[in-house]
Amino acid sequence: MSENNEVEMELPIDTSAITSTEVLKRVNALLSLQDKQNELTEEMEKEILAIEKKYLQKFQPLAEKRFEIVSGKVEPSKEDQQCKAPIEVENLKSNPTDKGIPKFWLHVLQNTEVKDLLEECDIEALEYLVDIKIVQVGDNQDYSLDFHFSENPFFTNTVITKTVKLEEDGELNEIVSTPINWKDGKNFTVQSKKKTVKSKPTKGKAASTTTTTVQEVVPCFFSTFISPNEEPTSDDEADEIMYIQYQIIAKLKDVVIPEAVNFFLGRATDAEENDYDFGEGEDFDDEEGDEDDEDEDDEEEQTIKKPSGKGKAQPQQPQDCKQQ
């Protein structure tokens, strides 16, 4: 973040309800209680962080076993298949050529709100995504998401990392992304465009026209999130982009990755219950529509809340992109 945004501006104090010196003393007493509560909250957050680190280590063997099954490195035993609520699919046939669970993580992402960022060019590349790992960085609060890819026709990276660096108080400091090593002619996040430039006429010289080729960023999941390749034009824009990325990372880390199989099956959601999208032309007086929504909520098998990301910026809907 920029230095100008490191210190947040305090809101002006509203003292209109303090009607006497006696009331003022009582308000200051409440502020003292608030100070004590803030100290306890800070202590609680430190303990929660320690617990999260402890259980992240316990989750690791389960995450590794999931990777081995998804990638086809191992076949699950009968004991491995003894889940509490096994599912059944009718009329399935055997296919010995199927390795692991094909396109597992692509289906996971397509069943989350991330799908709004996915374009056709992303989908082709994400078919080679074989794992997303949560990795604790050092002894502090920093962590990373490691996106593991099998050999593919687009880039040479086997791992693309997004590291979240936090301040001591938990505030977001920066997000560092691994650059993508694109194979020749396979970078679908940029496209060449010809532009015509007209020069102004000068004394004794007529206006001329020249054509030049420029590289433009194609809005998609890889260019917006995985490894952003467009420089922000201002500190405010840089902070907004960072917070959008943080919201996606936090949701993947806290909601999607731990429940990956339920997202794969489409029976989990990462949308907040109060995450309303009031589009143009919606009729809020439509009682019948409200009843339908309530029925859908009742039928939902499982609801998973997303974490509250910092900042208020929301991802913008990207335009269609084409591989060049």
CA distances (Å), origin 34, targets 24, 27, 31, 285, 292 = 15, 10, 5, 42, 44
pLDDT score of 192: 74
CA distances (Å), origin 142, targets 56, 165, 170 = 13, 5, 9
Q: What is the Cα gyration radius of the chain?
A: 25
* 271 compared with 150, residue with greater pLDDT: 150
| Structure tokens belonging to residue 164 | 């979240």
How much is the pTM?
0.71
Host H or E run for residue 83: none
pLDDT score of 322: 46
Q: What is the mean pLDDT of residues 34-38?
A: 96
* 239 close to 1: Cβ distance less than 8 angstroms: yes
User: What gap in Å lies between CA 84 and CA 67, rounded to an integer?
Assistant: 21
pLDDT score of 10: 66
* 309 close to 243: Cβ distance less than 8 angstroms: yes
* 166 close to 140: Cβ distance less than 8 angstroms: yes
* 63 close to 135: Cβ distance less than 8 angstroms: no
pLDDT higher than threshold 70 for residue 189: yes
DSSP lists the bridge partners of residue 172 as 166
144-167 burial, b for 16+ CB within 10 Å, e for fewer? bbbbbbeebebbebeebbbbbebe
User: What gap in Å lies between CA 55 and CA 61, rounded to an integer?
Assistant: 11
Highest mean pLDDT among 89-93, 137-141, 207-211: 89-93
pLDDT higher than threshold 70 for residue 90: yes
pLDDT band at residue 237 using 50, 70 and 90 as cut-offs: confident
User: What gap in Å lies between CA 143 and CA 95, rounded to an integer?
Assistant: 39
Which segments of the chain does DSSP mark as H helices, in order? 21-71, 104-110, 120-126, 221, 235-251, 260-264, 287-299
pLDDT higher than threshold 50 for residue 305: no
Of 44-58, 116-130, 246-260, 265-279, give the lowest mean pLDDT range. Answer: 265-279
Instruction: Give the other-Cβ count within 10 Å of 241's Cβ.
Output: 18
User: What gap in Å lies between CA 311 and CA 249, rounded to an integer?
Assistant: 13
* 307 close to 257: Cβ distance less than 8 angstroms: no
* 192 close to 213: Cβ distance less than 8 angstroms: yes
